[in-house]
A = this chain, B = another copy of it.
Amino acid sequence: MAYDPLVLLDAYRRMRAIREFEERMRREVQAGTVPGFVHLYCGQEAVAVGMCMHLRDSDYIGSTHRGHGHCIAKGCDIGEMLLEIYCKQGGLCNGKGGSMHIADLRKGMLGANAIVGASPPIAVGAALSQKTLGTDGVAVSFIGDGASNQGTVAEALNMAAVLKLPMIFMYENNGYAEFTGAGYHLGGGQIAKRASGFGMPAEAVDGVDFFAVYDACARAVDRARRGEGPSAIEAIAMRWYGHFEGDMQLYRDPKEVDRLRANSDPLKKFEERATAEFGLQADELREIDEEITELIDDKVAIAIAAPKPPREALYTDVYGSY
C-alpha cells in the first residue's frame, strides 16, 4: 500500500495530539485540577487514528469510557473537549457530560459512554441511518476487550450482519478490563474469532502498528461504503497507564509497563517507518509536536479559567418540550 505523505502527517498530528493531551491530563489529574474520573488512551493512539483517518465528519463513531483518543482522532475541537472534561460552560456537552459522556454530533462522535457495552447498539443505529438514508456513510463502534463480553455487543454484531449495515466493530484489546487481564475474562481468548461467528470478516491486527491498523480499516471501511456489510477488527495494543488515572495497577508487573514504553510506542513505531520508508522528516514532526504542546497549554489554561455552568443549567435540556 502506498501512503500519501499528507495523510501520514495528519495521522501523526492526531496521534501526537492524543498522546500530548493524555499526558497532560495525567499531570493535571495528579495536580488535582480535573474533576471526576479520567481514563487515558496512551498506547492505543494508532487504533483510533488508524480508523478515523478513513472517516468523514458525516461518518459516525460510538466510543467508550476511554474516549478522549476517539474524539481527537475524529476531529473534535480540543478546546471544547477540555472545557467539557473540566465540566465548564461551552464544553462539548456544556459541562453536564464530563469525560465519560463527551459527545459531538457535528463531528459524528456519538458519545463516550460510561455503561460498558451500551455503545455498540447505538452505533448500529447510526449505520442503520446511513443505510436507510442512502448515504455511503459508515458507523464504527469502538469496543474494549472487557466490553466485548457484554451481551449487547453480540446483539449489535447480529443486527449489523442480518441487516447488512455499513458498520465496523473496532475492538480495542488493550489487555485489561479494569484490574483483570483478558487472558482470564475473555472466553476463547480471541475477539475476532467471536465476531466471525456472526458472519462477517474479522481480523486481528497489531494495534501498535499504525500501518497495520490503517490497512485493515481501509478494507473494512471500503467494504461498508460499498454496501457489502459489516466487518470486525481486533486491534491489540496494551494501555500504558492504569484503568483510570490514580489506579495503582497492582495487577501489573511494572516491567510490563517499562517494556511497553520501550518496545510498543505507536508514535515511535510510526515515526521510524514513516521517516525511513515514506519520506517524512523528523523536523516537520517536531514542529507538529511543538504546535500541539502549545495548543494544549493554551486550551488547558482556558478550560481551567472558564466559567462553570449556571445554576439553571441543572434544569435545562432534560426534554426538548415537556
Contacts and interface: CB of A to CB of B under 8 A. Distances in A.
Interface of A: 149-155, 157-162, 184-190, 193-200
The residue in A151, A154, A189, A200 that gathers the most chain B C-beta atoms within 10 A of its C-beta is: A154
A199 B194 CA distance: 9
A288 B195 CA distance: 47
Contact of A187 (B151, B153, B200): B200
Contacts of A149: 154-155, 158
Contacts of A190: 197
A150 B151 CA distance: 7
Nearest to A195: B197
B197 A184 contact: no
Nearest to A121: B151
A184 B161 CA distance: 10
A197 B200 contact: no
A95 to B, nearest CB: 33
The residue in A150, A152, A197 that gathers the most chain B C-beta atoms within 10 A of its C-beta is: A197
Contact of A161 (B151, B152, B159, B187): B187
B162 A185 contact: yes
Contacts of A184: 162
A187 B194 contact: no
A194 B161 CA distance: 13
Given A151-B153, A159-B187, 12 more contacts: A149-B155, A149-B158, A150-B151, A151-B151, A157-B187, A161-B187, A161-B188, A162-B186, A187-B199, A187-B200, A188-B198, A194-B197
A188 B157 CA distance: 10
A200 to B, nearest CB: 7
Nearest to A202: B197
A194 to B, nearest CB: 4
A185 to B, nearest CB: 6
The residue in A153, A187, A200 that gathers the most chain B C-beta atoms within 10 A of its C-beta is: A187
